[in-house]
Amino acid sequence: MAKIIDGKAMAAELRAELRADVENYAQQWGQIPGVVVVRVGGDAASGVYSKAILRAAAGVGLPARLEQMPADSQAEELLALLQELNVDGMTRGMIVQMPLPEHLAQRMVADTVIAEKDIDGISPRSAGNLFLGLPSFLPATAAAVMEILERTHTPLAGKRVVVISRSNVVGKPLAMMLLQKHATVTICHSRTRDLAGFTRQADVLVAAAGRVRMVTADMVKSGATVIDVGTNENPDGTGGIVGDVDFGSVQEIAGAITPVPGGVGPLTNLLLLKQCMQGARQAVSGRES
């Protein structure tokens, strides 16, 4: 049976580390960096996520607030708010909740939020720096996967990693991060032929396709580390969420596996806050130099 990777326990460790970092920063600089979540409209899922970020920030001692805009807000109004936050000295991290209403372009947001405060890693500059191997903020879910691999001391150099995702927030950035750790990376997706032929070769398998229990035991190499990023509605109608991995069967084959819920999810929001603290320290270092 695979070792179950306890994301909740890792989150508790990271939360304590962040709380200590915030206290140390406050003692050193006499202030605490702030986080602003921008939400346009009333999308239910983004509302839940916004509240979760605010709770996580409160849990580590970071000031955080929600800037709620009406669904009919015009591009000029959103642009003005983002530009105001760009120059606000007390705001060190900005998160714009997606999806936006149809009349607002995500590209405009990505082009406007300055890279120094883009703790969600959505700007072209953040993506470009990641591609070039330069310091950058990372999309939080992909960063959470790397945090798990690091905290479990999972070997990556020379290992074969298969990522089932080509999204801009998980698959692509995660592949770049893994390459920087000298892994041999294969990206698979919905049009990959003979998917199982690829996944059975993986020392580390990351499933983030958004398909209920698509990864079954016959698709997994014995002893592999399996990271399940999926968050799908339970199809049996009993509520809750299930992953992209058939946990029960794969647990008997894998060497280590993340559950859903309780795996990647608990770490995601904390990675946003960790990057906020990194940005705050980079800013004060820049003022000192």
- Assign 160 to helix, strand or coil: strand
Structure confidence at residue 238 (pLDDT): 81
Q: Would you state the pLDDT for residue 289?
A: 43
| CA gap 84, 156 in Å, rounded | 42
Mean pLDDT by 10 residues, the chain (289 residues): 97 98 96 95 85 96 96 97 95 93 94 94 92 93 98 98 96 97 97 97 97 97 98 86 96 98 96 95 72
Q: Residue 164 contacts by C-beta under 8 Å, 6 or more apart in sequence?
A: 171, 188, 189, 192, 195, 199, 205, 206, 207, 208, 209, 214, 215, 244
Q: Determine the pLDDT at residue 286.
A: 66
* Domains by residue range for the chain, with CATH: 31-114 (3.40.50.10860), 140-265 (3.40.50.720)
Token pair 């058939």 is at which residue?
246
The pLDDT of residue 275 is: 96
* Residue 161 · residue 186 · CB < 8 Å: yes
* pLDDT value, residue 252: 98
Q: Identity (one letter) of the amino acid at 146?
A: M
Q: Degrees (nearest 5) of the Cα angle 210, 186, 151?
A: 75
CA distance 205 to 160: 9
